[in-house]
């Protein structure tokens, strides 16, 4: 189960091109749960993207914007 902060971080990753205000610990949890992924070097610049699994979770919770 995601914490409210982790869920908010997932929504921020979905909606933003460059993530600068996502807490590193929340991002780490999302990476561990395969909800976001990073290209090599992209995580250092905080530019993760939502995986298919992350999109499926957001769709189940009706987060569509």
Say what percent of the chain tops pLDDT 70: 80
The predicted structure's pLDDT at residue 15: 83
Q: Is the pLDDT of residue 46 over 90?
A: no
pLDDT-derived band at 64 (thresholds 50, 70, 90) equals low
Tell me the pTM: 0.79
Convert the pLDDT of each residue in 23-44 to its tens digit. 889 989 999 999 999 876 555 5
Domain locations in the chain? 4-60
Contact between 40 and 3 (Cβ < 8 Å) = no
Q: Could you identify the residue written with the tokens 């869920």?
A: 7
Contacts 24+ apart (CB under 8 A), 13-16: 13/48, 13/49, 13/50, 13/54, 14/50, 14/54, 14/55, 14/58, 14/63, 15/65
């Amino acid at each position: 189960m995601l914490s409210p902060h982790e869920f908010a971080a997932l929504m921020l990753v979905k909606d933003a091109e460059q993530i600068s205000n996502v807490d590193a610990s929340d991002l780490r949890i999302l990476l561990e749960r395969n909800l976001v992924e990073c290209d090599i070097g992209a995580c250092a610049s905080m530019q993760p993207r939502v995986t298919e699994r992350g999109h499926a979770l957001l769709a189940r919770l009706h987060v569509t914007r």
